[in-house]
A and B are shown apart, each in its own frame.
Chain A
Amino acid sequence: MALSKPVRTIWDIPREERFAPGHTMCQGCGAAIIMRHLTKVIGKDAIIVQATGCVEVTTTAFPRTSWLNPWLHLAFENAGAGASGVEAALKALKRKGVIDPNRKIKVVAIAGDGGTFDIGLQSLSGMLERGHNVMYVVYDNEAYMNTGIQRSGATPLGAWTTTTPVGKKMRGELRPKKDLIGIALAHRIPYIATASPAYPTDMVEKLRKAYETEGPSLVHIISPCTPGWRIRNEDTIKVARLAVLTGMWVLLEIVNGKPRVTVKVPKRKPVREYLKLQGRFRHLTDEEIARIQKMVDEYVEEINRWVGEQAIGPVEE
């Protein structure tokens, strides 16, 4: 049974584990936390289609699996297309009476940032545009972590990766991350949200709403990566929380085009606090940090304008 009643407190999260331990995800992996909660939400009657990536390789080395749901992996760039195929098949087979037409079976696509922002973008766009009844979950660790920390379209400005090294002429990633929510929004889908595992009630409730949505939904979740972000194993949640408290990651929900900030931050912390915990930003000078702060200030202003209130407040040292 999928989670059916609204999640208001941490106690509304189902106890039943539907993501088996014994997987080989790293110590302190953010994505592992996300997968645990996602599978709790979707319950038994969901078919998962997963893109190639960290979670895929660490959970399905033959002859073992961490998954309790029917689960399909085809390739890196086609979670959207695969999910479309499963959904279409369910529709046809229900109509033809092969599968009980009254049984709700949700299709859930899971992909990382590489499989979503970059190589999987076309397939995602097709799936969203065609209106498939699929819930798409992105765990965004902001680089190609499975291959060893290479830059993706989701890598934030200034971040070190192995392909945006810190050298004499270039100092980490040169561009801010791609606006995935803007892309999803442009497809006019009924439900879009951002989430952070540091705010589990908010995250689980958004996953539940995405599950309940008829039609395409997308939940974009920040997923700290201990080796890739060069953070201590125990700091995963701390970093995911600071992303929100500094305004670098705003917890949004967009229902039928109407945006809302679900976790307001009346007083923002300076981005320095988020950056200084992470080795990938260690090289940043005060000037570079100031530039990132300015970018975040502008982003926050844009969000506040969009949602029509001061959801995210000013920086307070």
Chain B
Amino acid sequence: MSLKDEGFKRYLGKKYPETWRDMPIAAIVPWPGNTAEVKTHAWRTIRPVINQDKCIRCRLCWTFCPDGAILEVDEEYKTSSGRVFKVSYKVDYDHCKGCGICAAECPVNAIEMVPEER
């Protein structure tokens, strides 16, 4: 598309605004996906802990997480029984709200919900 004319940038304000003058026009947000900067871990009373040894890498916890807080990473893992997996699942504890869907849906009970201690 022809957004070569970048005049629109004058309306985008400053990240992040402090006054009405540096606020983007019409309260638009020109910073895609920036809620990611907000941590939602304080919502949590229980935290999921993945047992990497038990995990069969079925991807269901990743699929069902409402907060995208199960991360799928290309990290090789060798289980104690010698099985090698190319991917691993890790919890993004900054964003996990502790709903427990991952643990409830895990077909091999590899995720345990552990009380948060504060």
By a beta-carbon cutoff of 8 Å, the part of chain A in contact with chain B is 10-11, 13, 15, 17, 19-25, 27-30, 32-33, 36-37, 59-60, 62-69, 98-100, 103, 197, 200, 226, 232-238
Contact = CB atoms under 8 A, between A and B. Distances in A.
A235 B66 contact: no
Interface residues on B, range: 35 or more
Contact of A22 (B39, B64, B72, B98): B39
Output the residue of B24, B60, B105 with the most chain A CB within 10 A: B105
A261 B100 CA distance: 31
A232 B36 CA distance: 25
B34 interface: yes
A103 B1 contact: yes
A65 B60 contact: no
Please classify the interface of chain B as helix (H, G, I), strand (E, B), loop, or mixed, using the class held by over half of its residues.
Answer: loop
B20 to A, nearest CB: 12
Contacts of B98: 27, 233
Contacts of A103: 1
Which 5 A-B pairs give the minimum distances between C-beta atoms?
A234-B100, A22-B35, A32-B66, A20-B33, A22-B38
A116 B66 CA distance: 23
Contacts of A27: 43, 66, 97-99
Interface in B90-111: 92, 94-95, 97-101, 103-105
A59 B31 CA distance: 13
Contacts of A99: 1-2
A315 B37 CA distance: 48
Interface string B63-76: 11111110010000
A64 B1 contact: no
A66 B69 CA distance: 14
A197 B105 CA distance: 12
A11 B23 CA distance: 42
Nearest to A200: B63
Nearest to B36: A20
B27 interface: yes
